[in-house]
Chain A
Amino acid sequence: MTLARRIIPCLDTDGERVVKGVRFVNLRDAGDPAALAARYNREGADELVVLDIAASRDHRPTFLETIRRVAAELAIPLSAGGGVATVDEGRAILRAGADKLTVNTAALRRPELLTELAAEFGSQAVVLAIDAKRTGDHWEAFVRGGRDSAGCDALEWAREGAARGAGEILLTSMDRDGTRSGFDLALTSAVSRAVSVPVIASGGADTPTDFLDVFVEGRADAALAASIFHDAVQGLGELKRFLASRDVPVRLV
């Protein structure tokens, strides 16, 4: 009896449609979020993440409607975020049907946001998303969808975020994101050792072996991917059966 390692498909949306790109650029349409959510729920996803990567205030009602449509398809947990900067915005996302909020840029600008969200909704509902990029001998946290360096050390920020109330870290390697060259094991393992909360590894997934490596060597508690699932390059059931055969505890459906 062990806590299963989670496999989490991620839907990056422009608010309404699923989009994808390489290293946060060259976005193209990848389908209807509710249809993809229904498929992943059926195929054995352990959780789903839906992000609004455009996150502009004027289309927020569209994104809330997307959350409602996605949540209606799920019998598994849902995290959602993109541009959440206040407790009220967080509440709107949870009320729309998400179980957890992911926050990124706004928390780096004002770290107290994590404490406020945790006090209101509980740490289990607060996911700190960190976009990390190798810079010299360390990793730096980036903001605004990976456009600007936040000028702070990703490991330090992960520690501070957890101390301030984040119940989970969603860690994206910007060097690997969209490249299908495997997860950044050094980054993931460094962050996983640095914090006492669960770490979701993201960026670079391609083969089943990449997932095995990130759970064993990378010490990840969960692994997230987008395009390999959307394009059906990798089936969820097949991936989990492979991991089970290598003694990684997973929930088979």
Chain B
Amino acid sequence: MKISLVEYDAGNLPSVERALARQGIETERAATPGAIRAAEALILPGVGHFGQLMRTLAARGLAGPVREAIERGTPLLGICLGLQALFAESDEAPGEAGLEIFAGRVVALPPTDKLPHMGWNQLRRVRPSALLEGVPADAYFYFAHTYAALEAGEAAVALCDHAAPFVAALERANLFAVQFHPEKSGDAGARVLANFVARARGNGHS
């Protein structure tokens, strides 16, 4: 099974490709509506600005197909800004609509700690998680962000605390997203990517 990476010119795509290639996982870039519709599993990577991401997805006609893929149950992993894009809106780009899979708003973390939240932090698990299966409870993950989703209802499986508690990982059926960068998080991050791919494969065979 190939994993399709949604390509929209922003940042960390090569890092994600390399991290998957190290585990022998094949990837391809999905830059057109057709490629997204045909994908067996998707990763929405993300670095940059919420408004710019949404505008680029819209300009390329990708926002609708990504939303439809999620609604059809195509396995999808959102990374960093790719998690934030699943929400309805963000403080980073007021007035700009997100993918609206989750109703809430992504907010600026309060300035009670140094921001951006930059570096390695641990997670607080709040529900059983397929993504975090086999990952040690005290593992560190790499974060680099200023905005965050403070809640995601029953979908939130792990939180992190920096300035405020926020959603570090969420899961709902075949939809997965993490605020940290698994592709930059050493062995723990590699395990999260492997867990996503295993779930996506399981989905294909069922």
Which residues of chain A have a CB within 8 Å of any CB of chain B? Answer: 1-4, 6, 41, 46-47, 71-72, 74-77, 94-95, 97, 99, 119-125, 167-168, 196-198, 221-222, 251, 253
Contact = CB atoms under 8 A, between A and B. Distances in A.
B140 A251 contact: yes
A97 B184 contact: no
Contacts of B123: 1
B186 A76 contact: yes
Main secondary structure of the interface of B (DSSP, over half): mixed
Chain B interface extent, by class: 35 or more
B48 interface: yes
A168 B118 CA distance: 9
5 contacts: A46-B120, A95-B14, A121-B11, A197-B115, A198-B116
A122 B186 contact: no
B97 interface: no
Contacts, number: 100
B119 A198 contact: yes
B189 A71 contact: no
Given A77-B144, A122-B47, A251 B118 contact: no
Interface in B1-55: 11-12, 14-15, 18-19, 22, 47-49
Main secondary structure of the interface of A (DSSP, over half): loop
Given A124-B145, A253-B187, A198 B48 contact: no
Contacts of A196: 111, 114-115
Q: Which 10 A-B pairs have the closest CB atoms?
A: A251-B140, A124-B144, A4-B120, A124-B116, A251-B120, A1-B122, A167-B116, A122-B48, A77-B184, A75-B186
Contact of A3 (B48, B49, B145, B162): B162
Interface in B92-128: 111, 113-124
A124 B180 CA distance: 13
Contact of B124 (A1, A3, A77): A1
B74 interface: no
Nearest to B185: A75
A125 B11 CA distance: 10
B121 A3 contact: yes
A162 B36 CA distance: 38
A75 B120 contact: no
